Structure 1
Amino acid sequence: MRVLLICVGRLKAGAERELVTRYLDRAKAGGRALGLSGFDTIELSESAARRPEDRMAEEGQAILGALPQGADVIALDPRGKNLTSEAFAERVRTGRDGGRPAAAFLIGGADGLSEAVRARCDLMLAFGAATFPHQIVRAMLAEQVYRATTILAGHPYHRA
């Protein structure tokens, strides 16, 4: 199963990008033996529309256009469901074992996700009720993806 991060906005060079790259490289190395591949990030341009509704709609079209057919679509949203790291790993396992071609993790733009994107999501996921900068959320997501590979492999990185 291919693992993708689809994000509105681009990370500049710096600590956050390095951290995301480090975790996704680790996930890629460990994921091969688990039937997981890719661990790619697709960065979509932020909309320049004036109204928030128009920005969300434009960004939503881009997100929907980037989704692989049949993917398990999981969007990050502060109103989403909180999962333990073990439950997150189980979600990845279930998608893989269920024959999903991809797991697509979405991080929307500053205005959030359009209703069309929200309707396509299989899960809305939160990393708590707080709002975080997109750069930090991307690093947290990359770490959880890596942690999921270690949990699935029985590696000692994860200690509950």
Structure 2
Amino acid sequence: MTGCHHHTHQTLTYNPLLGSWQLQSVKWISVARTVQIEQAQPGLFIFDESYYSLMWSPKQTPRTPFVNLSKPTDEEILDGFRSIVFNAGTYQISGQQINTTALVAKVPGFEDGQQHYNFYFENNQLILTMYDETYPDGSKPDWSGQWQTEFTLIRAQ
């Protein structure tokens, strides 16, 4: 009886983004000014080999809970919608850039939309800067070319 060993050679590329990252701060940066939340509300960015998921709040204060969790008012629903950002999908890395494509998104119709980021590491923090966004129809949001959003994240423990 003879054995046949079949070896495959794979080139493994190190991906420093893999894992879960907790949001520490967020900045909205334009040429004219910067708006910052120094101590961000809880947020989480997760990367595996092919997929990402991000959830964070653009508010400086904690989100307001519904008075009755199973029966929110229309006002509570609207406030809740405005107080959270999320999407998830696939991503690709090229050098220090990430391009994401949403499979699911908070905003209906953004599925297949793309977000474009630069990233680098500083003092064990991931600095992730969204510099552009493209809607599924190829158009851009009003802020495109005027604002960037910088997220400072630390690896979740």
- TM-score of the pair, normalised by structure 1: 0.30
Q: Quick check: which one's strand share is greater?
A: 2
Query: Per chain length, whose mean CA-contact separation is higher, i.e. which structure has more relative contact order (CA < 8 Å, sep 6+)?
Result: 1
Rg larger in structure: 2
TM-score, with normalisation over the residues of structure 2? Answer: 0.31
